[in-house]
Amino acid sequence: MLKTIHWLFIVGAALFIFGIGFVVVGAREARRVPVPAAAAPTTTPVATTKQIMSAIVAPAADAIFSAVSTTVSEKGIVEVAPQNDEEWAALGAKAAALAEAGNLIVIDGRAVDQGDWVTMSRAMIDAGRQTLKAVEAKSTESVLTAGEAVNTSCDNCHERYRRD
């Protein structure tokens, strides 16, 4: 009699533990909300690369190319350069926009590849930063040098990737 009770107790305990196990596993399953394999992208590309080129890159580059110049004619020498803090700041904003456009064309959905495209976009970013440094130093000479770097960064990529 005692033995029987003993066994019933063990079977009862086993069922109890088994039951708890079920509850725990069940709870875990319920908590398993579908998690995407990779983190969801935080950016949603809207513009095409062509639109970024014509709306951001080209105007920014034009502002840099035309910011400093010396024209010699029979009328005399005409020097063009930013004249005050606001004009320097405006040029700095163009340089910053050019650099950021480089970030825009390397994001997922726009990057053509992870090799030359990224390298050439970085070259444009670096040229934009170089211009920004020249602006911070208010050095017209450095703006000219940076402008050459900007121009080279455009040409290199167009030669490799532009098909029109």
- Residues forming contacts to ligand HEC in the complex (CB under 6 A) are 49-50, 53-54, 57-58, 61, 98, 105, 117, 120-121, 124, 150, 153-154, 157-158, 161-162, 164
Give the DSSP H or E segment for 17: helix 2-31
Nearer to ligand HEC, 40 or 110 (CB): 110
Phi, psi of 32 (to 5 degrees): -75, 80
CA distances (Å), origin 99, targets 77, 84, 128: 32, 23, 5
The answer to whether the Cα torsion of 107, 136, 152, 155 is positive or negative is: positive
Nearer to ligand HEC, 88 or 153 (CB): 153
CB of 139 to ligand HEC, least distance (A): 20
Nearer to ligand HEC, 41 or 59 (CB): 59
Nearer to ligand HEC, 31 or 163 (CB): 163
Locate 17 and state its tokens: 């533990």
b/e map of 38-47 (b: 16 or more CB within 10 Å)?
A: eeeeeeeeee
Whether the Cβ atoms of residue 63 and residue 94 lie closer than 8 Å to each other: yes
CB of 87 to ligand HEC, least distance (A): 20
Nearer to ligand HEC, 110 or 138 (CB): 110
CB of 29 to ligand HEC, least distance (A): 48
CB of 65 to ligand HEC, least distance (A): 9
CB of 89 to ligand HEC, least distance (A): 20
* Residue partners of 65: CB distance under 8 A and separation at least 6: 147, 150, 151
